[in-house]
Structure 1
Amino acid sequence: MTDSERDRRRRQLDAWGGATRTLAPVPGRERIGERLARLSEQGAQVYDFGDWTDQYGSEDGVVGELERRTAAALGMEAAAFFPTGTMAQQVALRCWAGRTGNDTVALHPLAHPLVCERDALQLLAGLRVVRPTAEPRMPTAAEVRDTDEPFGTLMLELPLREAGFVLPTWDELTATVEAAREREAVVHFDGARLWETVTHFGQPLPAVASLADTVYVSFYKSLGGLSGAALAGPSTLIEEAVAWRHRYGGQLFQQWPAALAALAGLDLELPRLPEYVRHAATVAGALHEALAGSGLPWWRVWPRVPHTHQFQVWLPYEAEELTEAGVRQAEETGTVLFRRWSRPPGAPPGTASAEVTVAGPGLSWSAEDVRAAVAEFLEIHASAAPSGS
């Protein structure tokens, strides 16, 4: 990172972190003292500070408590804490490959292992990949049945982030899982954001998780933890996964701060997620109305009604200038509506998308607040955009 890039990044963090109005906290971005104070305050509400610090994830410490609580929340026999979701999913998929005798995994080309993990499934785990569909949604039951190669595991990312945090209907999901069972495949859920799917599905969390043989969940993406993930499933597979966790270098000496933050997320943030999902529909609707009346030649809010508390906004401008407009809005007005914009792979030049998350701070935003923030953002962008944009 060059000095100019570092200065630009610092300016963004100062602007977003210093804003007085935002839809959600900046993920993982707090001043160190603030984060330590919050961990101390919230941790004391969920775990006995008189207990000893954890070493190597001992069963009688905070990591063990987190594993038991996670398994119970998901309705699974057991769970194991992992430092990253990338590690947890590689371990899960290679364990299933050994048990099924088939090293082929069926998953979406937009799924996290193919987009964000540098081919780790193939290079580290030696697994092959087939893609039941390339459509920006979860594969259908028919597509799973018609996949022209055998596979041992079907992996479903719920929600599918890169496609706009989209989910199938409950009936579609159960049919797709059943299609995999018909092919004698096991099912693994990439549930990094599984926590917030229950409102869309109309089902409790254990009912959603029970459709899969194993589930991975993240503790920081929606629950506000420091880091870390869990793999949950049958106790015999989790025992095997723990052995692979050690081989992968995931048996850290002390993980209690991350585990403590995760317990706080389970107790304090998880119960609020349905409220965030409901209010995201209000925010997305107001964004749609504001952009519809803006005179822009093209734009999109996707999904039109969010499936979770996160969704995408697309605009016909370059990502860098839109990010700059958002930083200026935070600096000049104290309001953060959008943060970082990007041009997704395959999108034409002059188009960009941003992810919008609605969490605790966003619950105070009315539809009129959102419309006013959109108008302000577009005005700031227009005042600074290059000629011809």
Structure 2
Amino acid sequence: MSDTDLLSRCTTVLPGHRARTPAEMFAAMGAWCEANGIAHDTYGDGALIQRFEARVAELLGLEAAVFCISGTMAQATALRLAADARGRAPVVLHPTAHVFVHERSNFQLLGHFDALRAGDPHRPWSAADIAGIPDRVSAVALEIPMREIGGQLSAWDDLEAIKAHCRARGIHLHMDGARLWEAAAGYGRPVAEIAAGFETVYTSLYKGIGGLGGAMLAGRREFVAEAAEWFKRQGGNVFQRSPYVVAAAMQFEQRLAAMPACFARTLFLYDVLRDYPQLRVNPARPHANMLHVHLPVSRERALEVRRELARDHGIWTFNRISHGVLPDTSFFELYVGDNLLDAPDGRVREAVALLAAAVARSA
């Protein structure tokens, strides 16, 4: 039986939001459009998309926002424009930045900008990581939260010091806020307070929001307009953006309202995991509604355990899993969404106990 078939038969799924079939998603989109009298946009000109862009800008406390077909395009464009405006000085990135890890060297091969790595790959940025850079830089790009290290956040005082440093030196401060909505619960502050001091903010319309895809880039009105022109030049001028906007907008407020509950559920899960020393959690305590679970078994064995628990107990424990740094270790990301919100406490405890027991037998 394939993993897809196993997952479809599981009654308890730990990671993420409940997956909708295309038929379910499109039916929900159609019903929402019918109820709200939604019309298509034409190349981004339309009431729905413009209202939604304005709503995102309002939440972030920034002047304007514009839809972009992908976060990769949005970030590359924002950082390229920032570098161009400052004599092509390098952009500073954390070693785990999405640009380095997932974008296939686009910044380098397409000549967008030059990049410097700063900071420890296993820790979020401190103020000293940025203030200690001796080079002239054009931009600093900070991911909030940092996905590759378990959703960690820079300490609030460090974040404020980084903002002050960039402001004093005329450095463009950009936020990779793909999961910014999740960070608000971790910081216990509204997103506008987190975004204050950033020149530009990118946020995803599908990661925590559950849309079909797409992104928003927010900032000063003039900068956003210039970025929109560059989206067109790079092939991002989608004729009708309404499917992406509808998929996000119809559940946007609901998703944002659920973020505190997702964070509280993450804290509950963390407390359950702590009872099993063979399941090591990063960070030491959750900063957002996600975390990494490290296992003392190989990736291959971990996948076997996942299949066993799915087949024998109807429990799906994780999606993707990676090799650990040490031999015969592995780790997976667990994003807390609808699935864990809806799972009874006892079933969650049972799932974690079964995972720990299977791992212990294999270690």
1:5 aligns with none
Q: Deviations over 1:81-100 (max 9, x none)?
A: 01110000001001111222
Write the distance in 1 (CA, Å) between the matches of 2:31 and 2:328. 45
Matched residues, number: 363
Aligned ranges for residues 207-226 of structure 1 at < 5 Å? 207-226=193-212
2:4 equivalent to 1:13 = yes
| Secondary structure in 2 matching 1:249 | coil
- Partner of residue 270 from structure 2, selected from 278, 281, 284: 284
2:83 equivalent to 1:97 = yes
Distance 1:52 1:40, change over 3 A: closer
Write the distance in 1 (CA, Å) between the matches of 2:250 and 2:8. 22
Write the distance in 2 (CA, Å) between the matches of 1:301 and 1:119. 30
1:65 aligns with 51
1:369 aligns with 347
Distance 1:132 1:73, change over 3 A: same
Deviation at 1:150, TM superposition (A): 1.1
2:206 equivalent to 1:206 = no
- Partner of residue 341 from structure 1, selected from 305, 310, 321: 321
Q: Deviations over 1:6-40 (max 9, x none)?
A: xx8xx22222233222234468x543222222333
Write the distance in 1 (CA, Å) between the matches of 2:131 and 2:143. 18
Distance 1:260 1:370, change over 3 A: same
AA at the equivalent of 1:32: P
1:3 aligns with none
Q: Does the CA contact (< 8 Å) of 1:220 and 1:262 recur in 2?
A: yes
Identify unmatched segments of 5+ residues in structure 2.
Answer: none
Aligned ranges for residues 66-85 of structure 1 at < 5 Å? 66-85=52-71
Aligned ranges for residues 185-334 of structure 1 at < 5 Å? 185-289=171-275, 291-292=276-277, 296=278, 299-334=279-314
2:18 equivalent to 1:22 = no
| Secondary structure in 1 matching 2:251 | helix
AA at the equivalent of 1:349: P
| Secondary structure in 2 matching 1:100 | coil
AA at the equivalent of 2:39: W
Q: Does the CA contact (< 8 Å) of 1:327 and 1:339 recur in 2?
A: no
Name segments (4+ residues, structure 1) moved above 6 Å. none
Write the distance in 1 (CA, Å) between the matches of 2:267 and 2:16. 18
Write the distance in 2 (CA, Å) between the matches of 1:211 and 1:200. 19
2:113 equivalent to 1:127 = yes
- Partner of residue 147 from structure 1, selected from 133, 137, 143: 133
Distance 1:272 1:41, change over 3 A: farther
Identify unmatched segments of 5+ residues in structure 1.
Answer: 1-7
Q: TM-score, normalised by structure 1?
A: 0.87
With 194-203 and 183-192 compared, the bigger mean Cα shift is at 194-203
Distance 1:38 1:330, change over 3 A: farther
Q: Does the CA contact (< 8 Å) of 2:296 and 2:330 recur in 1?
A: yes
Write the distance in 2 (CA, Å) between the matches of 1:67 and 1:248. 20
Q: Deviations over 1:333-380 (max 9, x none)?
A: 222222321115xx1231110111211231244554333212223445
Q: CA RMSD in A?
A: 2.1
1:51 aligns with 38
Deviation at 1:169, TM superposition (A): 2.0
Percent identity at matched positions?
A: 34
Deviation at 1:288, TM superposition (A): 1.6
